[in-house]
Amino acid sequence: MVQKLDHLRETPSQTAGPYVHIGCTPNFAGIQGVFDDLGADPFPGEGDRITITGRVIDGFGTPIKDPMIETWQAGAGGTYGPGTRGWARIVTDPETGEWSLNTVKPGAADGQAPHIAVWIVARGINLGLNTRIYFPEDDHSADPLLSRVEHRHRAETLIAKATGPSAYAIDFVLQGANETLFLDI
Amino acid sequence: MQRWQMTERLIPRDLSAHPRAYAPDYKTSVSRSPNQPLLSFPTTQTEITGPTFGHDMIGQHDNNLILNFTGQPAIGERIIVHGRLMDEYARPLPGCLIEVWQANAGGRYRHKKDGYLAPLDPNFGGCGRTITDADGRYEFLTVRPGAYPWPNRANDWRPMHIHFSVFGHSFGQRLITQMYFEGDPLIARCPIVKTIEDQTQIDRLVAPLDMTMAQPLDCLAYKFDIVLRGRTQTRFENRPEGM
């Protein structure tokens, strides 16, 4: 026999379910006057904005309409924080499933190419899904994460497309041939 | 010269502690579960940092679901839900945001997509939030949510539950889960509960009645402790150039 390790195990995840917005963005869910929705603007008062749009697409190829997405990123100078600076909560259009993030372009941090971390929860997702958004104009050759990806087409699922001046688009595909590369962070 | 360099990292996530992504008895998971393996990589600053929230953002009744919607009391069995937030090394996690949401005492959510027969309670919104104290403790006052039927298999019912959204100090610690109540016979029948294969992990989601915190002639109490991933350090041995 040996001594028993007394470490704890992580509490198991459960799906966020169909009513996640009641708890995380109550005003969006129609519950007004209790408290404000958090994460509406990741960089209040900071200029040079970019807009990223996209959808979360299920295994049938259909945009899902009930996810909640959170993003976390460095500021333009490549540093994280303080406080909630750099953190956003995104809801999708309940009719189309489209989402939009208005933010600043992150600077390079920690020897990594500029990127935004993404966490997706929804009904039917039992453990929140982590992924990243990279930008097409940046040099990705030395990025420690992208350089680990064996199949080039899998890495490309993380790179947004430029759709106009300061505008990008990326879909998160939960399943199928174009499945997004999800991360064990 | 310092012999070691240290960088902070998250303890790798033990996926066996969690539900499977694909769990066919929970039908919605079938088309929303990735097929491809997750990419594992060493922790970067992106995952070890995360948003932090100040106690000053919390209003007086934010953690009181009985009063925070209209100021008039909600209907139902009054309960305190409390516990400690800690990491895998049992270290308390102070200053962390916890958000909750739940159905009312009849099992109905205040949401346009919920059409269950049970009526809305005009004084119950169903959301609350708080920030853990210096010892990682938190507390909510609420009513016990009702069980309710949901469209899955022919006659599936959710056990009484409260949804928890939990922040640590790192974006990589982010967790959403559900708390169940000791003694509820619907727990063992629930296909969402059973997305977790390890029964000892299911048990971790069931809050016991805690009479030490129950208030005489006022309310019962349940204790729900939450463990997030731990943080530790990677050591790099310093080597002379060229070795």
Kindly identify which residue of chain A lies nearest to residue B16, measuring between CA atoms: A12
Kindly identify which residue of chain A lies nearest to residue B195, measuring between CA atoms: A126
Mean pLDDT, residues A144-164 taken together: 95
Domain locations along chain A:
38-173
Q: What is the mean pLDDT of chain A?
A: 97
Beta-carbon separation of A181 and B227 below 8 A: no
Kindly identify which residue of chain B lies nearest to residue A39, measuring between CA atoms: B51
- Name the token pair of B187: 């727990």
Catalytic: which of B9, B84, B158, B229? B158
Beta-carbon separation of A183 and B87 below 8 A: no
Cα–Cα distance list, B219 to A48, A146, B76, B80, B190 (Å): 52, 53, 11, 7, 27
Chain A interface, mutation test: which of B97, B171, B195, B205, most A Cβ atoms within 10 Å? B171
Does this model's pTM top 0.95? yes
Residue ranges, chain B, pLDDT below 50 = 243
Question: pLDDT for B125-156, tens place per residue?
Answer: 999 999 999 999 999 999 999 999 999 999 99
DSSP string spanning B31-57? TTS--SPPEE----HHHH------GGG
B92-124: b (≥16 Cβ within 10 Å) or e: ebebbbbbbbbbbbbbbbbbeebeeebebbebb
Q: Write out chain B residues lying below 8 Å of A117, CB-based.
A: 46-47, 171
Mean pLDDT, residues A164-184 taken together: 97
- CB atoms inside a 10 Å sphere around CB B150: 16
- Name the token pair of B176: 């959403």
* Rounded Cα distance, B234 and A49, in Å: 36
Q: Tokens 């899998």 — which residue?
A: A154
Catalytic: which of B18, B20, B61, B163? B163
DSSP reduced 3-state for B234: strand
Reference B75, options B66, B84, B83, B62; nearest CA is B66
- Find the CB nearest B176 among A14, A18, A132: A14
β partners of residue A131: A118
The shares of helix, strand and coil residues in chain B, as percent rounded to the nearest 5, are 10, 30, 55
Beta-carbon separation of A12 and B19 below 8 A: yes
CATH fold of the domain at A38-173: Protocatechuate 3,4-Dioxygenase, subunit A (2.60.130)
Catalytic: which of B9, B82, B108, B161? B161
- CB atoms inside a 10 Å sphere around CB A154: 16
Decide if B33 contacts B22 (C-beta within 8 A).
Answer: yes
Decide if A14 contacts B180 (C-beta within 8 A).
Answer: no
Mean pLDDT, residues A133-148 taken together: 96
Q: What is the CA radius of gyration of chain A?
A: 18
What is the per-residue pLDDT for B243?
A: 46
Mean pLDDT, residues A137-151 taken together: 94
Decide if A17 contacts B195 (C-beta within 8 A).
Answer: no
Question: pLDDT for A75-106, tens place per residue?
Answer: 999 999 999 999 999 999 999 999 999 999 99
DSSP A62: P
What is the per-residue pLDDT for B3?
A: 67
How much of chain A, in percent, has pLDDT values that exceed 70? Answer: 100
- CB atoms inside a 10 Å sphere around CB A97: 19
Q: Tokens 């003694």 — which residue?
A: B183
Q: Write out chain B residues lying below 8 Å of A148, CB-based.
A: 39, 41
Q: Which helix (H) or strand (E) holds A24?
A: helix A20-24
Cα–Cα distance list, A69 to A25, A89, B106, B145, B192 (Å): 11, 6, 29, 26, 21
- Name the token pair of B132: 């853990």
Domain locations along chain B:
59-227
- Find the CB nearest A72 among B50, B126, B229: B50
- Find the CB nearest B51 among A33, A72, A148: A72
* Rounded Cα distance, B170 and B50, in Å: 4
State the nearest Cα–Cα gap between B99 and chain A, in angstroms: 6
State the nearest Cα–Cα gap between B217 and chain A, in angstroms: 28
Q: Which CATH number fits domain B59-227: 4.10.410.60, 1.20.1090.10, 3.40.1440.60, 2.60.130.10?
A: 2.60.130.10
ipTM of the complex: 0.97
For A76, residues 6+ apart whose C-beta sits below 8 A from its C-beta are A46, A48, A104, A105, A106, A107
Mean pLDDT, residues A29-36 taken together: 97
* Rounded Cα distance, B70 and A78, in Å: 43
Q: Which helix (H) or strand (E) holds B140?
A: strand B137-143
